Amino acid sequence: MASKFWTQGGSDTEEEETDIEDEIENGGAGEATAAAAGSRYLQANASDSDDSDGQKRVVRSAKDKRFEEMASTVDQMKNAMKINDWVSLQESFDKINKQLEKVMRVTESDRVPNLYIKCLVMLEDFLAEALANKEAKKKMSSSNHKALNAMKQKLKKNNKQYEELINKSRENPESEEEKFEEEEEEEDEDESGSELEDPSQIPESSDEDDEGEELDDDAGDGAWEKKLSKKEKLMDREFKKDPSEITWDTVNKKFKEVMAARGRKGTGKFEQVEQLTFLTKVAKTPAQKLEILFSVISAQFDVNPGLSGHMPINVWKKCVQNMLVILDILVQYPNIVVDDMVEPDENETQKGADHDGTIRVWGNLVAFLERIDNEFFKSLQCIDPHTREYVERLRDEPLFLVVAQNVQEYLERIGDLKSAAKVALRRVELVYYKPQEVYDAMRKLAELSGDGEKDGDETKVEEARGPSSFVVTPEVVSRKPTFPDNSRALMDILVTLIYKSGDERTKARAMLCDIYHHALFDEFSIARDLLLMSHLQDNIQHMDVSTQILFNRAMAQVGLCAFRVGLIAEGHGCLSELYSGGRVKELLAQGVSQNRYHEKTPEQERLERRRQMPYHMHINLELLEAVHLISAMLLEVPNMAANSLDVKRKVISKTFRRLLELSERQTFTGPPENVRDHVMAATRALCKGDFQKAFDVINSLDVWKLLRNRESVLEMLKAKIKEEALRTYLFTYCSSYDTVSLDQLTKMFDLSDAQVHSMVSKMLVNEELHASWDQPTRCIVFHDVEYSRLQALAFQLTEKLSILAESNERAVEARIGGGGLDLPLRRRDNQEYAPGTGGGGRWPDLSYNQGRQGGSGRTAYSGGGRPMALGQASRDRSSGQSRGTGGYSGRSGSQMDASARMVSLNRGVRG
């Protein structure tokens, strides 16, 4: 782009040359002035080096000498530049760097001399020119060419450390270089001024500059605002002179100029926005206005300093307004087509409003909209959620929804359904996590602010500031979002559109949002069906991280939903995976969890921070933990009681077991404080069959107030606790009883006859309890088939023997190559069986592999992505239970079954 300036024509370059010559003259002849200047420098900059008067003279002369050397090197460079000799330029550059070191040492200051910085600026510009000028590059000799490339890299590396200074010197060279004031003024105009003004067009520019300097002197380097006003004045003057004179051409030329400056160092980002905004007002045709508006928005995006920061909020709002204006134009002039596939004709925008036939304008609405959404998201990530600012920011959401809605409508109208689906997804992602109450609040807010007072004012002010624009665009598209009564309806509309015409990723994300939303509204079966039918569990590992997070969120929400509707096992299945790694926060992107064993690189940390969910979208972690632990308790306590002889066998929730062990190891248990303590206290009560106490402890958790239908959930929970208490009681004490009467049980656990009967019957049928009913007396009669300790040990012995036999077989087979034995069949069994008894020899192995596969960043998320144990309720009958039964159906002993089951369960979970 820089070439535009440099290659304007022969006369310009001549001018340039004379400039440089002037400088050389000055530099060469004016030693005296340089020396004088140098002293001024020293006084200003290196005051700390003035130790004593006597030394001062010596030092000064040394300094002067260094500066002289440097100046002469600069001259050499200038000469080299003139003849385009990169080889000598490179040499000089190395030289000057060495000299710089000396100078720095001599002056003992950390401030780099301006001379050097100026030289760098000069070099950089020249380099840019040389690179841009391809023809000249071709003509270069090979050594010259090589030197050019080497120079390019060196300069880039070198300039990085002085970046700030260079920028400063580019922005306002005059403020720092008073000594070159006179000669430099013209050059100044050429360099920085060229972006805005053609010197020939504005004769009064020198006055302007003086004024500007004054301002700059006052405000120092942060003076862009004032400068901006100056420049605006300039613009105004330029165009105000006589509006009738302004033609499409002038505007277009100006526009091109401004655009050419984009991204160049020294171009103020805000200024550019201002200039472009001004241009929109003087645009001659709607198409031109549109084109410029697109650039305005791009420029507004440029304002954002980096990836981690967010766009200033006022700029964001203006951006949104601009989008709306764009839509106004597009709706008003249906013959204008926005397209980013083909580079449109140079003069396409010249065609006026009355032109019939399509006018193509370059731009991409969807990309802009997505960017706006991202910026909104980022701003919410950055703002402290506990401040008023955050709430204020949240109020801007309807603004975005308006734009999104309008863009979507526009796209649907022109038949671009694929893009419309993308936009719809953005809308879905703003709505899906909102419970009905929040949704209603947003609707109300939208209606209130939708009256458009604030928005209207803003646009009006803007319009009024400049001269009234040539192309007036009435507000055609509505400035008010329309929402259906409930969020489900909105979701349905959007999601249907996406399913019909979205691409794979859009569809998957929409599906996850849909699942989340269903789960939020307690529709477990629908959410489950969607989850299973979409097969998202199977291929979520192959998706991007943000989608995986969404998947984890949906999973967590489904788990909560299952719990609320009383499906404890399903709920546990959904949540246990999340908690298995102990990094829920990370999986849900709700905060950074510290891991003792695994230090994160700053890079990873930054990435992770960028993924965080804004606070208002969080799933309450305490509630989640409570739900997870309570479901684990309800499943695990009777399970432990049933397998009391060998506790290690058949673990449902490892996390829960570990916590329980920890709490049992404590010598003194205080009153429960956090969620974990509460559940542990409840577990202790439940183990003894004391359902009332267990329930009371759990009831005292204050996370329950987060539930909408708190009463009914607690009611359900109480019933479940009673049931499990009954089961636990029976398991624990069945060996002590010969018969237990039904009436006694009903009284003990405050359950109805039918309930107890049904529960006990279930246990009998599943052979969890070796007993049977005696109907006439309404008693449970226990059969004495529980193994005694001796018998149990005997079983364990046989089991171990069989392992021994197997390993023998394997050894023999390895030796003699498995001939006559019927090994193939048995070997298959072995594989099912061996790891389970070998103390889980397979476990660490597996997880290690997984860790390696995923790579460092991915592991965290692939954890949540694995298919969940929902397989039990799944239609996909190949996973989960059924596979488990397949593995060991051939075995006869019940003991062996159990061990085999553990393995298969693990495999079921692992997928």
Partner 1 sequence: MATYDLTPRIAPNLDRHLVFPLLEFLQERQLYPDEQILKAKIELLNNTNMVDYAMDIHKSLYHTDDVPQDMVDRRVEVVARLKALEDAAAPLVTFLQNPSAVQELRADKQYNLQMLKDRYQIGPDQIEALYQYAKFQFECGNYSGAADYLYQYRALCTNSERSLSALWGKLAAEILMQNWDIALEELNCLKEIIDSKSFSSPLNQVQSRIWLMHWSLFIFFNHDNGRTQIIDLFNQDKYLNAIQTSAPHLLRYLATAFIVNKRRRPQFKEFIKVIQQDQCSYKDPITEFLACVYVNYEFDGAQKKMKECEEVILNDPFLGKRVEEGNFSTVPLKDEFLENARLFIFETYCRIHQRIDMKVLFEKLNLNYEEGERWIVNLIRNSKLDAKIDTEMGTVIMEPNQPNVYEQLIDHAKALQGRTYKLVGQLLEHAQAQPAR
Binding site for partner 1 (CB under 8 A): 525, 529, 533, 754, 757-758, 761-762, 764-765, 770, 772-776, 781, 783, 785, 787, 791, 794-795, 798-799, 801-802, 805, 808-809, 812, 815-816, 819-821, 873, 875, 877, 882, 892-894
Rg of the chain in Å (alpha carbons): 38
By beta-carbon proximity to partner 1, the closer residue of 482 and 798 is 798
Least CB distance to partner 1 at residue 909 (A): 19
Looking at the DSSP bridge assignments, the partners of residue 339 are 362
Extract the tokens encoding 338. Answer: 């926005």
Amino acid at 32: A
DSSP 552-621: HHHHHHHHHHHHHTT-HHHHHHHHHHHHHTS-HHHHHTSSPPP-SS-PPPHHHHHHHHHHPPPGGGPPPH
Least CB distance to partner 1 at residue 786 (A): 10
By beta-carbon proximity to partner 1, the closer residue of 414 and 526 is 526
By beta-carbon proximity to partner 1, the closer residue of 773 and 843 is 773
Q: How far apart are CA 531 and CA 659, in angstroms?
A: 31
DSSP class of residue 649? S
Least CB distance to partner 1 at residue 770 (A): 7
Least CB distance to partner 1 at residue 525 (A): 5
27 neighbors 34 (Cβ within 8 angstroms):
yes
Residues 6+ apart with CB under 8 A from 614: 377, 380, 381, 385
Extract the tokens encoding 726. Answer: 């009954």
Q: How far apart are CA 363 and CA 368, in angstroms?
A: 9
By beta-carbon proximity to partner 1, the closer residue of 802 and 859 is 802
Least CB distance to partner 1 at residue 894 (A): 8
Least CB distance to partner 1 at residue 468 (A): 56
76 neighbors 88 (Cβ within 8 angstroms):
yes
Least CB distance to partner 1 at residue 555 (A): 19
394 neighbors 381 (Cβ within 8 angstroms):
no
Long-range contacts of 777-782 (CB under 8 A, 24+ apart): 777/739, 777/741, 778/741, 778/742, 778/743, 779/739, 779/740, 779/741, 779/742, 780/730, 780/739, 780/740, 780/741, 780/742, 781/738, 781/739, 782/734, 782/735, 782/737, 782/738, 782/739, 782/740
- Burial annotation 179-189 (CB, 10 A radius, 16+ → b, else e): bbeeebbbbbb
Helix, strand or coil, per DSSP, at residue 359: strand
By beta-carbon proximity to partner 1, the closer residue of 83 and 790 is 790
Amino acid at 840: G
Q: How far apart are CA 399 and CA 442, in angstroms?
A: 11
Q: How far apart are CA 851 and CA 874, in angstroms?
A: 27
By beta-carbon proximity to partner 1, the closer residue of 350 and 643 is 643
By beta-carbon proximity to partner 1, the closer residue of 4 and 877 is 877
By beta-carbon proximity to partner 1, the closer residue of 48 and 822 is 822
By beta-carbon proximity to partner 1, the closer residue of 706 and 801 is 801
Least CB distance to partner 1 at residue 421 (A): 18
By beta-carbon proximity to partner 1, the closer residue of 367 and 816 is 816
By beta-carbon proximity to partner 1, the closer residue of 496 and 791 is 791
Least CB distance to partner 1 at residue 414 (A): 27
Least CB distance to partner 1 at residue 836 (A): 16
By beta-carbon proximity to partner 1, the closer residue of 602 and 819 is 819
Least CB distance to partner 1 at residue 734 (A): 14
By beta-carbon proximity to partner 1, the closer residue of 408 and 501 is 501
Q: How far apart are CA 401 and CA 417, in angstroms?
A: 18
Distances (CA, A) of 125 to 22, 87, 173, 770: 19, 17, 15, 90
Q: Which of 295, 290, 247 is nearest to 273 (CA)?
A: 295
Least CB distance to partner 1 at residue 687 (A): 26
DSSP class of residue 469? P
- φ, ψ for residue 149, nearest 5 deg: -65, -40
Extract the tokens encoding 806. Answer: 């197997």
Least CB distance to partner 1 at residue 796 (A): 11
Longest dimension (CA), the chain: 126
